[in-house]
Amino acid sequence: MTDQEALFEYLLRLGDSTLILGHRISEWCGHAPVLEEDIALANTALDLIGQTQMWLGLAAEVEGAGRSADELAMLRDVWDFRNLLLVEQPNGDFGQTMMRQCLFDAFHIELLTALSQSDDNRIAGISAKALKEVTYHLDRSSETVIGLGDGTEESHRRMQAALDLLWPYVGEMVTPDAVDTAMHAAGIAPDLTALRARFDTRIDAILTDATLVKPDSTYAQTGGKTGFRHSEHLGHLLTQMQWLQRAYPGAAW
């Protein structure tokens, strides 16, 4: 794999993860527990889709094959996506959605903080802009996890169940592979091993305040960011997300 191919793959990971999570969160529109949460979730989804536009736009530029960000989002199949497995998991109840969001946000803020110092000025610029939004995302998701975890007996039970369910998907975020290693060597991306220590410190503090117990397991589901293996949920999500462009190729507003 050449440096440009590795960079393209890395940019797909960034853009695909925000795209899929943004779509997942958008599924709450009109269905959230209260109006304030409905609006907040919709705004978070819009932030993530906006970040996707920048990441996939840059990926298309790096690829140099004439594809646009929209084509990368809407005309690839499941095996071409490079998103983290965590973000494609179903919403479940509100607590599960917020736990998924908090786990991703705690990783995302550390990643973007490091990427804002990237030797690639394009990546640094996108990361600095996205970091402002993700700071808010983490504030909100962590406060919600803490409030529900340290709330009633029922809310605590649900948050612990959500953590137990989603924890096996955390390892993939912070475990480097060949693309991560190549990007770090090129001065483009951070060392995920060092980033994991910062992530662990941040998430441990949140879970302690939420009176939740982090699962005592190092097992990690993998395959999403390489495209080797996705869960069955991604295919169903893409069917819904891509149907208009697939049904009416080239359609434009």
Rounded to 5°, the CA angle 37-164-32 comes to: 15
Rounded to 5°, the CA angle 112-134-45 comes to: 120
Query: What parts of the chain have a pLDDT lower than 70?
Result: none
User: What residue ranges define each of the domains in the chain, with the CATH number in brackets?
Assistant: 3-247 (1.20.1260.10)
Is residue 2 within 8 Å of 63, Cβ to Cβ?
no
Which residue, among 89, 110, 103, has the nearest Cα to 233 in the 3D structure?
89
229 residue type, one letter? R
Question: Residue ranges of the alpha helices (H) in the chain?
Answer: 3-26, 35-63, 69-74, 85-88, 94-115, 121-149, 153-166, 170-174, 178-185, 192-209, 232-247
What's residue 135's pLDDT? 98
In whole angstroms, what is the distance from residue 242 CA to residue 27 CA? 14
CA atoms within 13 A on the CB side of 122: 10
Cβ-proximal residues to 161 (8 Å cutoff; 6+ apart), any chain? 96
Look up residue 216 and give its DSSP letter.
S
What's residue 224's pLDDT? 98
- In the chain the first and final C-alpha atoms are separated, in Å, by 38
- Buried b / exposed e along 219-229 (16+ C-beta atoms within 10 A): eebbebbebee
Q: What pTM, to 2 d.p., does this model score? A: 0.97
